[in-house]
Amino acid sequence: MIDIAFFLVFSAILFGIGMFGLITSKRGVVTLMSIELMLNSANINFVAFSTYTGNADGLVFVIFTIAIAAAEVAVGIALMLNAYKIQKTTDVDKLSTMRW
Amino acid sequence: MIGILDYVWLVPLVPVVCFVLAGLFGKKTPQGGGYIAVAGAAIAFIIAALASIDYWTSDYWANNQAYTVDMTWMMVGTFEINFGVYIDSLSCIMMLFASFISTLIFIYSIGYMDDQGEKKTRYYAEVSLFLTGMLGLAVSSNYLEMFVFWEVMGLCSYLLIGFWSFTHPEGDEASFRASSAAKKAFLVTRLGDVCLMAGLFILMYMVGSLDYADIFDNAAILADKYGKLLPVAILLMFAGVVGKSAQFPLHDWLPDAMAGPTTVSALIHAATMVKAGIYLIARSFPLFVQCTDVMVIVAVIGGVTAIYTASMALNNMNIKRVLAYSTLSQLGYMVLALGSGAYMISLGLEGGEHAEELFLLGGAAFTAGVMHMVNHAFFKALLFLGSGSVIHAVGTEDMRHMGGLRHKMPITAYTMLIGCLSIAGIPIFSGFWSKDLVLEAAFAPYHHGFGDAGTIFLILFILGMITAFMTAFYMFRMWFMTFCGKERGHCHGESPYNMSVPLIILAVFATLSGLLMLAFKSFGTYGVLESLAVGFGFEFPFHTGGETIVQIFKEIPTYIALVLAIAGIGIAYKLYVATPYDEEAFKPENHGALYNFNAKRHYFPELYNWISWKFGAGIAGIVNAFDKHVIDGTVNGLSNSACGGGDGLSAIQTGYVRDYAGLVVVGVLAILAIFALIFLYGGGF
């Protein structure tokens, strides 16, 4: 059996990449992708711990997370499309009409 | 016993009700509420008279007690402050003359203030409140209650002296003078009031109560127990008198107070305000007699005031100012008599072979002071109302523009002549009796060789004699300049009846009040003066009125004073009637240095200003700087730091999601790092 540390390190790296993308990128679509990466790194942790402890709760949680992530992406992309229609850009720094 | 004594609290209450009625509804009634004020004063007088009769026929009086009823006003811990009435002969006399003279002045005001339009409402409301202050002061049962009414009078004097602050019939200059005179009166008397309050605090500390009854019963014990503190308390209380009764060196507000309407001057000088200070000494007599040395100071202040202010009246050209200075001088007489009386009684209290005689003379001096207060009230009200009548007819206060008026306004002229004769001390007229008793009181300590301060009292007696001469001179100078010689101005003729009738009534009293008080066996079997000895915790052995009269004519000083008074009148006649009026001599450029020095009131207003600029403005500057920099600085600093901090912190709020995300990461990492450190070095939680 593969040591759990490999799964945790992999998920941590994935989370770090997602976080890096979220902080550095100005592009809206990339931001959404980064969030997706971070969610999935959490999913990997769930699955890993669930398998190692033999408790199915984590697996159930992952199903929910995937479903919600799908919904979130649908909303997010719809937002980006509409933003692009109006502003002709998906640069989040420029979508500042409602900023103080 | 007719039971009205139980309702004596109505005496101050009626005028205050009139104050409210006249203030609120005065505009809707004829004369702007004038009749309400007159009715209030008259009702107060009637109740006061009935209550006085009741008191003088009651067992309280027969048993040498004051009638007193108290209710609790407030409780502070175990310290109880009462609100009540304290009636003895002194309060009765005070209520009677204050309400009677005020009634006449209010009637007179209806004529005098007729042309004032809407402002009359304000006038009548304020004079009613003024009367409340005086009557409340007279019936109060403790010092705090008295102080409340004392301050009510202070307020009303400020309002009434400044009656013409906004618009004056003589223009802006005069209205400015009125407002500054009002401020001066208020502030100068305030100085005395603060001292009085300090004195009352000490008294409260010593006795634990401010009720007259408690304090007077314990006066002798206090003197033993607080040998050092009691004189301080009494001196501070006397400072209150100095402010209120305008004694030297706080005398300067009273001449300026002439800026108000003449009726107000009459009210302040005769019935209320300045009499309150004299009343305070008379009322506190049982306390004051405990301090021999302080009483010498009181007498000296009185004597100095008498001559000093009389000197300023000698060359003044303003008819009202002359009267104002004469009031100051007469107030000095009253303080002198009371101080000298208290001095003699305080010596008597120490015992010794002369105790009986000292009590007798001290009692006589005390009655001299009170009697002079009452007599002065009558003749000064008369003189002021007379001068008001003259001013009303001539339209100026400057005596250089009067002259020869006795043909055009005979009632005013001859009633004022009676007033002048009375104040100058011509026999039969009221002023003669009381002034003579005052001078005798000043002479007695030296004459009989009592105490160590005999020489001081001899000097005071001589000053008093010179004052008597000056008084006769300046009063007749005023009368001659106004009513004799050639007419130098324009005159409308005699004033209306509602002004002349009060003058006639007052003239009758100015003639007879002295004799009445001495001889009239009033309300039972005692004379009014004798009744004063009642209710002080110790008894004066007393001369009856008849004995007093005989006594007066047995003493040599009586005749000296009389000769001096006649000489004063003679010189005035020589200078102002026998010598033809010389306009040149009255021009400012022909005045000598002494004349100008006197006319400038010995530079006392300048001294007041100098002190207030050097001293008052300095303190005010420091207070202002403290307020601006420390208090405002603290408040502004707090608000500025809040604003600046807010601005600084709001810079973090960029609005960029990734910045927030970065901060969250940093935060999480920091928390993790702390946990890690705790685990590594702290060995877990």
For strands B67-76 and B526-527, give the pairing.
unpaired
Query: Which residue is it, tokens 């000298």?
Result: B340
At residue B55, what are phi and psi to the nearest 5 degrees? -65, -45
* Chain B interface with A: residues with Cβ < 8 Å: 653, 655-658, 661-662, 665
Per CB-CB distance under 8 Å, the chain A contacts of B656 are: 92-93
Distance of CA B55 to the CA centre of its chain: 26
Pick the range with the lowest mean pLDDT from B342-346, B392-396, B536-540, B584-588: B536-540
- Among B653, B654, B656, B660, most A C-beta atoms within 10 A, so best to mutate, is B656
Better-predicted residue by pLDDT, B118 or B416: B416
Q: What is the pLDDT of residue B535?
A: 45
Residue B425 binned pLDDT confidence (cut-offs 50, 70, 90)? confident
The residue type at B620? A
What is this model's ipTM? Answer: 0.79
CA-based nearest residue in chain B for residue A27: B658
Cβ separation A100–B657 shorter than 8 A? no
Do B417 and B381 sit in the same domain of this protein? yes
Q: What is the pLDDT of residues B485-512, one digit of tens each?
A: 777 777 777 777 888 888 888 888 888 8
Distance of CA B381 to the CA centre of its chain: 14
Taking the C-alpha atoms of residue B384 and residue B321, their distance in angstroms, rounded to an integer, is 10
Taking the C-alpha atoms of residue B45 and residue B51, their distance in angstroms, rounded to an integer, is 10
Distance from CA of B643 to the nearest CA of A (A): 18
Cis peptide before B169 (omega within 30 of 0): no
Residue A41 has pLDDT above 90, yes or no: yes
Q: What angle do CA B410, B415, B417 make, to 5 degrees?
A: 95
Do B565 and B678 sit in the same domain of this protein? no
Token pair belonging to B681: 């070095």
Cβ separation B658–A19 shorter than 8 A? no
Taking the C-alpha atoms of residue B271 and residue B582, their distance in angstroms, rounded to an integer, is 38
Number of domains in chain B: 3
Q: What angle do CA B674, B678, B679 make, to 5 degrees?
A: 120
* Chain A interface with B: residues with Cβ < 8 Å: 19, 22-26, 31, 92-93, 96, 99-100
Q: What is the pLDDT of residues B234-271, one digit of tens each?
A: 999 999 999 888 888 888 888 888 888 888 888 888 88
Cβ separation B661–A100 shorter than 8 A? no
Residues 6+ apart with CB under 8 A from B128: B15, B16, B18, B19, B22, B36, B37, B40, B41
Q: What is the DSSP string of A40-82?
A: HHHHHHHHHHHHHHT-THHHHHHHHHHHHHHHHHHHHHHHHHH
Distance from CA of A93 to the nearest CA of B (A): 7
Do B413 and B530 sit in the same domain of this protein? yes
In a domain, residue B502? The reply is yes
Query: Which residue is it, tokens 């001294």?
Result: B607
Do B591 and B604 sit in the same domain of this protein? no
Taking the C-alpha atoms of residue B179 and residue B121, their distance in angstroms, rounded to an integer, is 19
Residue B524 binned pLDDT confidence (cut-offs 50, 70, 90)? very low
Q: What is the pLDDT of residues B629-665, one digit of tens each?
A: 888 999 999 999 999 999 888 888 877 777 888 888 8
B203-208: long-range contacts at Cβ-Cβ below 8 A with a sequence spacing of 24 or more?
A: B203/B143, B203/B233, B203/B237, B204/B79, B206/B230, B206/B233, B208/B79
Domain boundary among B545, B561, B595: B595
Phi-psi region of B449 (alpha: psi -120 to 50; beta: other; left: phi over 0): left
User: Which pTM does this prediction carry?
Assistant: 0.77
Residue B526 has pLDDT above 50, yes or no: no
CA-based nearest residue in chain A for residue B658: A23
Residue B522 has pLDDT above 50, yes or no: no
Do B467 and B576 sit in the same domain of this protein? yes
Cβ separation A100–B656 shorter than 8 A? no
Q: What is the pLDDT of residue B528?
A: 44
Q: What is the pLDDT of residues A25-36, one digit of tens each?
A: 888 889 889 989
In a domain, residue B524? The reply is yes
- A99 vs B655, B661, B665: nearest CB: B655
Do B420 and B497 sit in the same domain of this protein? yes
Cβ separation B658–A25 shorter than 8 A? yes
Domain boundaries, chain A: 4-87
Q: What is the pLDDT of residues A66-100, one digit of tens each?
A: 999 999 999 999 989 998 998 888 888 788 777 65
Distance from CA of A98 to the nearest CA of B (A): 10
Do B457 and B542 sit in the same domain of this protein? yes
- A93 vs B656, B662, B665: nearest CB: B656
Q: What is the pLDDT of residues B559-615, one digit of tens each?
A: 888 888 888 888 888 887 777 766 666 666 666 666 777 666 667 777 777 777 777
Phi-psi region of B140 (alpha: psi -120 to 50; beta: other; left: phi over 0): beta
Taking the C-alpha atoms of residue B561 and residue B564, their distance in angstroms, rounded to an integer, is 5
Q: In which domain, by residue range, is B662 found?
A: 657-685
Taking the C-alpha atoms of residue B273 and residue B290, their distance in angstroms, rounded to an integer, is 26
Residues 6+ apart with CB under 8 A from B165: B175, B178, B179, B182
Contact yes or no for B39/B17 (Cβ under 8 A): no
CA-based nearest residue in chain B for residue A35: B661
Q: What is the CATH topology of the domain spanning A4-87?
A: Helix Hairpins (1.10.287)
Q: What is the pLDDT of residue B407?
A: 81
* B191-197 mean pLDDT: 90
Residue B80 has pLDDT above 50, yes or no: yes
* B31-59 mean pLDDT: 86
In a domain, residue B307? The reply is no
Distance from CA of A99 to the nearest CA of B (A): 7
Do B375 and B460 sit in the same domain of this protein? yes
Cβ separation A92–B657 shorter than 8 A? yes
Do B545 and B482 sit in the same domain of this protein? yes
Helices B497-519 & B89-112 angle (0-180, nearest 10): 160
Pick the range with the lowest mean pLDDT from B16-20, B144-148, B389-393, B635-639: B389-393
Between the CA atoms of B144, B149, B150 and B155, what dihedral angle is there, to the nearest 10 degrees? Answer: 130
Q: Which of B561, B537, B370, B373 is nearest to B462 (CA)?
A: B561
Domain boundary among B595, B615, B630: B595
Per CB-CB distance under 8 Å, the chain A contacts of B657 are: 31, 92
Residues 6+ apart with CB under 8 A from B607: none
* B168-182 mean pLDDT: 80
| Interchain CB contacts (distance < 8 Å): A and B | 21
* B206-228 mean pLDDT: 82
Residue A48 binned pLDDT confidence (cut-offs 50, 70, 90)? very high
In a domain, residue B155? The reply is no
Per CB-CB distance under 8 Å, the chain B contacts of A26 are: 658
- B655 vs A19, A24, A96: nearest CB: A96
Average pLDDT, whole number, for chain A? 89
Residue B142 has pLDDT above 90, yes or no: no
Helix, strand, coil content of chain A in percent (nearest 5) = 80, 0, 20
- Among A23, A31, A34, most B C-beta atoms within 10 A, so best to mutate, is A23
- A23 vs B653, B655, B662: nearest CB: B662
Give percent of chain B with pLDDT exceeding 90. Answer: 10
- A23 vs B653, B655, B661: nearest CB: B661
In a domain, residue B529? The reply is yes
Q: What is the pLDDT of residue B496?
A: 79
Q: Which of A28, A35, A33, A22 is nearest to A92 (CA)?
A: A28
* B14-33 mean pLDDT: 84
Do B574 and B493 sit in the same domain of this protein? yes
Cβ separation B665–A19 shorter than 8 A? yes
Distance from CA of B655 to the nearest CA of A (A): 7
Q: What is the pLDDT of residue B521?
A: 43
Query: Which residue is it, tokens 């935060």?
Result: B667
Better-predicted residue by pLDDT, A60 or B588: A60
Per CB-CB distance under 8 Å, the chain A contacts of B665 are: 19, 23
Helix, strand, coil content of chain B in percent (nearest 5) = 75, 5, 20
Residue B461 to residues A66, B204, B374, B449, Cα–Cα distance (Å): 117, 36, 22, 14
Average pLDDT, whole number, for chain B? 83
Do B469 and B517 sit in the same domain of this protein? yes
